[in-house]
Amino acid sequence: MPMTAAELAAYLGGELVGDAKANIRGVGSLAGAKPGDLVYVESEKHLPAALASPASAVLVGSGVFVRDKTIIRVAHPKWAFARAAALLQPEPPLLAGQHPTAVIHPTARLGENVAVGALAVIEENVRIGRGCQLGAGCVVGAQVEMGEECVLFARVTLYRNVRLGNRVRIHSGAVIGSDGFGYVQVEGRYEKFPQRGTVIIEDDVEIGANSTIERGALDETWIGRGTKLDNLVHLAHNVRIGRDCVIAAQTGISGSVGIGDRVSFGGQVGIADHCRIEDDAVLGAQCGVPSHKTIRRGQTVWGTPARPLAEFKKFYPLVARLPELAARLAALEGKRAKKSERVKES
């Protein structure tokens, strides 16, 4: 959707400096931009590269002023760039219409403009809202409810009774609502504990490829509005996650963990069962939280077991020096042993 720099600035609520009639046709990176592209910079160190690029306009912070380049000043350049990209180069629809090989149960109710891909299966009493898109090979189990404008990419599986809000995006290979890992040990054998709960996913949640989310044992596994899960994230049964959290790849969260709002997880974080992570906490990559541990509101933690960042910074350099310290200790012990031998001989 081509537009002038003036039109784009008005749409973004920014201040235009330069050629108001500059034609903006798309977006690009600093390295790959071409005439007609919009680029952005958040750091002054990248500003020279942006000014030297052939891009037709640059999104910059509010306090930036330059000559000989069309710029649009905004409070948050990266966010403004995301909005501009969605306007200039909107994501194409996953598919259109309903493929003849899709299997849709006669009791399923599909809203207006629902698209269903090849070999998808929609079971009995499913409710799917207006404008949803289901990619090839998706399976939507019985009694599932989906809100409006949800997108399921190819091979997503929703088990029975799962509930999605509006504008939920689930990427390929994700499995939502499988049984939790719950067993009772009886006389040396494991018997399955019933997994009769469900999964509830609120509006504007995005779930990455090959992620797995288990249903609650008796109640719900819950993901709050606006939360984003990366690829290969695992949520066990009865996990409850608040709003606007971000969870990076290969994170595993054990059963009955409670997570507040706006919590950030680095990659490969491991959370043991029955932990509580309060609002605005930050968990660094690969940190591990033991069972029943609480991470307090706004705290940043790192390491295994997870500890406050300031404490971790004091502890970690000592770990790196362990070979050196062990050698020094061995040398001291050797000197002490020789001294003791000389005392005995005298």
Q: Do residues 177 and 215 touch, judged by C-beta distance below 8 A?
A: yes
Residues 58 and 70 sit within 8 Å (Cβ to Cβ) = yes
AA identity, residue 133: Q
Least Cα distance to 220 among 205, 207, 236 occurs for 236
Provide the pairing of β-strand 71-73 with 15-17: antiparallel
- Alpha helices (runs of H) in the chain, residue ranges in sequence order: 5-12, 47-52, 77-88, 309-320, 322-345
The residues facing 59 across adjacent strands are 40, 72
d(CA 116, CA 97) in angstroms, rounded, equals 6
User: Which pair of structure tokens corresponds to residue 316?
Assistant: 């970690």
Active site residues: 237
Residue 172 to residue 74: CA distance in whole angstroms? 35
Which two tokens mark 158?
């929703």
Beta bridge partners of 58: 39, 71
Closest CA to 51 of 75, 35, 68, 64: 68
In whole angstroms, give the CA distance from residue 107 to residue 127.
9
How far, in whole angstroms, is CA 173 from its chain's centroid?
A: 15
* Rg over CA atoms, the chain: 27
If we measure between CA atoms, which residue out of 143, 50, 164, 161 comes closest to residue 152?
A: 164
Q: What's the DSSP call for residue 44?
A: G
Interatomic CA distance for residues 126 and 138, integer angstroms: 13
| Residue 222 buriedness (CB in 10 A; 0-12 / 13-18 / 19+) | buried
